[in-house]
Amino acid sequence: MRSQPLLLTIFAGTLARLSSVSTPTGTATEIADDEQNASEPRWLDDVEMAAWRGYIESLSALTVALETDLAPHALTMGDYEVLVRLSEAPNHQMRMCDLAVQLRLSPSGLTRRLDGLVTGKLVRREPSAQDRRVMLATLTSKGMASLIAAAPDHVAGVRRHFLDRLTREEITAIASAFTKVRNAFTCPETAAACPESLEA
């Protein structure tokens, strides 16, 4: 079931059309004052609505398809992202707090995300040799082997379900658009400094 905010966004065009044909009451001065003082929502136009709904509806279907591709490898998309992040890090390990920031997870959320990977011996939690108070997430040799085995199927799925449906120009436009969106949510201070509360 869709959440109320998403429902309101999806039907924004309908609401806007309904509001535009409603009959105002009161004097001309009162109506003008009401219009001036009202905080009118910026309803989505047809092009904006098509872009937003297309994104929302494609995202859920795409996620299901990519999860299905990873299922034979006993991995979820969340698992796969953790393995990729660690594989790209120096010595295949990251401070827990840094990993939480990159994955946009709370400390407890990261713990839950890692539990299955740790149990499966794909990731190891261990204290830093430089500072025993700092916990590290380390990609194990088994985790790297799992990533190497799953990567071809995942990449094939990304192409089959997503990239192959688009022209090169569309892919370039999407890359530019979502780079802007991603950067808008990236806080340099948060990314640069690891909050102490996330160290445990």
Class of residue 42 by CB neighbours under 10 A (exposed 0-12, middle 13-18, buried 19+) = exposed
Q: One digit per residue, pLDDT tens: the chain, 200 residues? A: 444 444 444 444 444 444 444 445 556 555 555 555 567 899 999 999 999 999 999 999 999 999 999 999 999 999 999 999 999 999 999 999 999 999 999 989 999 999 999 999 999 999 988 888 899 999 999 999 999 999 999 999 999 999 999 999 999 999 999 999 989 987 554 444 455 444 44
Q: Which two tokens stand for residue 146?
A: 């799992």
Quote the CA–CA distance of 87 and 84 in Å, as a whole number. 5
H helix or E strand, kind and range, residue 159: helix 141-161
Domains of the chain as residue ranges with CATH:
1-44 (no CATH), 45-198 (1.10.10.10)
CB atoms under 10 Å from CB of 46, counted, come to: 8
Q: What is the pLDDT of residue 185?
A: 83
Structure tokens at 188: 């340099």
pLDDT of amino acid 133: 85
pTM of the full predicted structure? 0.73
190, 18, 25: which is closest to 105 by C-alpha? 190
Which pLDDT score is estimated for 37? 54
The pLDDT value given to residue 65: 97
Are the beta carbons of 104 and 190 closer than 8 angstroms?
Answer: no
Q: Do the beta carbons of residue 138 and residue 124 sit within 8 Å? A: yes
Do residues 181 and 93 lie in contact, with contact meaning Cβ atoms separated by under 8 Å? no
